[in-house]
């Protein structure tokens, strides 16, 4: 079965991401504030930033998926890793990956940096903004593909 994106499916995915990923970011920041090391996530973050610099949409999708999964594991919530894998698989198949990738705004903080700060609410807010900033470019890409 081939999955075809439409506006409803994309909005559903973004809504689910907004409900879950900011919480995962906040929980991960809480772990940092309690003294946990994010060294294991630093390699994934570096790979993601390098992929963005190279501009390969498939590499960006893979690296971003890895970060979402690492944040879910690092959050300490036992249910988030499974939920993250399913969402990440859908996100990686969205059209227009480069338009959705970091950096969205040159001055915007990256979700990974806010997690490392240990500030739960900052991590939650930046994750929310980062996800929502990707909605419009994805919907535009889907609209272009439909016509």
On the question of pLDDT at 96 being above 60, the answer is no
Ordered domains of the chain (ranges, CATH): 7-146 (1.20.120.530)
Confidence (pLDDT) at 119: 94
pLDDT, tens digit, for every residue of 65-89? 888 888 888 888 888 888 877 776 6
- Average the pLDDT over 114-139 and give the result: 91
How many residues would you count in the chain?
147
In angstroms, the CA 26 to CA 20 distance is 10
How many CA atoms are closer than 13 Å to the CA of 30, on its beta-carbon side? Answer: 12
Q: What angle, rounded to 10 degrees, do the helices at 80-92 and 57-74 form?
A: 170
Q: For residue 105, give every residue at least 6 positions away whose Cβ sits within 8 Å of its Cβ, in sequence order, or none.
A: 133
H, E, C per residue of 17-40: HHHHHHHHHHHHHHHHHCCCCCHH
Confidence (pLDDT) at 93: 66
């Amino acid at each position: 079965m081939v999955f075809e994106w439409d506006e409803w499916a994309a909005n559903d995915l973004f809504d689910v991401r907004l409900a879950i990923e900011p919480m995962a970011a906040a929980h991960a920041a809480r772990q940092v504030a309690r003294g946990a090391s994010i060294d294991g996530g630093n390699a994934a973050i570096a790979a993601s930033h390098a992929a963005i610099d190279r501009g390969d949409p498939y590499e960006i999708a893979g690296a971003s998926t890895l970060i979402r999964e690492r944040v879910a594991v690092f959050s300490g919530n036992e249910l988030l890793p499974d939920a993250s894998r399913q969402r990440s698989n859908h996100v990686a198949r969205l059209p227009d990956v480069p338009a959705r990738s970091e950096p969205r705004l040159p001055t915007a903080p990256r979700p990974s940096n806010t997690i490392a700060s240990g500030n739960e609410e900052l991590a939650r807010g930046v994750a929310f903004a980062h996800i929502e900033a990707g909605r419009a470019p994805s919907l535009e890409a889907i609209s272009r593909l439909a016509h």
